[in-house]
Amino acid sequence: MLVILACCAGLGMGVPGKGDPGGLTGFAAWRQYYGGSWAGQSLAKNVGAFVDGGANLVAAVGVPYKMAVGIIAVMVCCFAATTLDTATRLQRYVIQEIGTTVRCNTLRNKYLATTIAVVAGGFLALIPGPNGPGSGGLILWPLFGAVNQLLAGLAFLVVTFYLLRLGKPVAYVLLPAILMIVIPGWAMMSQIGGWLQEGKWLLFGFGVAVELLQIWLVLEAALMWKRARGVPPPPLPPLVRATAPAAEPSSEGGRAC
């Protein structure tokens, strides 16, 4: 929601104009970033729109505009760094779970799994992409938005089933789950048709795979709906309070932990 406000209402509050000390406002400011075709949109333009729009929103509460630009830019960098960290950790978990499934203890090693995750991500980032070497991440970038929203819908579905098993009302969670599954899935289907016509086989293949997995999970949920109602999940084991002995002072100095 914050990104939408920044890129729409915030951007309309004004952007620095070329040769215009007063800058641009309203529709003219919006056209500064979105005046051309969507095919010409670049990641730099999209990030720039968010930074300018977000800075306007922050400046509206009394923060100097240049400082607001710095604050939003740092927030974008922190988000990027956090995304890399989270993506690496989650990919390590996936690799370790694959190792458990196929009974390969080597893949269950956290150091090897992390190395595979980092090398795979680095390879994707460095291979030649739409803008030449080093832009490989843009190859799969069109999938990011729809897949992200589909994951949110599936997370809502998990919460729905948890409440269903507890016998709690689920309408206020189920309706957002349906919305977050149907609309991004519809958008993905529209994109898949375009990728097929343009011959973008990698995007087409990944898009079809994502759609099939989504349909599979939704069908599994529908089949389990009646069986899950009122069946409480197994209780968690009780928490055991660990009583660690008091740390003795280290003879080498420093703190004991």
Query: Which of 72, 31, 32 is CA-nearest to residue 51?
Result: 72
Q: Using 70 as the pLDDT threshold, list the residues of the chain that sit under it.
A: 1, 14-25, 35-43, 242-257
Strand partners, 129: 132
* Domain positions in the chain: 2-63, 77-138, 141-228
| pLDDT score for 243 | 63
| pLDDT score for 93 | 92
Query: What pTM was estimated for this model as a whole?
Result: 0.60
Query: Would you put residue 103 in left (φ > 0), alpha (ψ -120 to 50) or beta?
Result: left
First CA to last CA distance, the chain: 42
| pLDDT score for 116 | 93
| pLDDT score for 95 | 92
Q: Cα angle vertex 180, ends 175, 182, to 5°?
A: 90
Query: Which of 46, 137, 151 is CA-nearest to residue 84?
Result: 137
Name the DSSP letter for residue 109.
-
Secondary structure, 3-state, 148-197: HHHHHHHHHHHHHHHHHHCCCCCHHHHHHHHHHHHHHHHHHHHHHHHHHH
Q: Which two tokens stand for residue 105?
A: 């203890």
- Taking the C-alpha atoms of residue 123 and residue 209, their distance in angstroms, rounded to an integer, is 22
Q: Which two tokens stand for residue 76?
A: 């974008």
- Please count the CA atoms within 13 angstroms of the CA of 126 that sit on its side-chain side: 6
CB 181 within 8 A of CB 157: yes
| pLDDT score for 92 | 92
Q: Report the interhelical angle of 43-59 vs 26-34 (nearest 10°).
A: 150
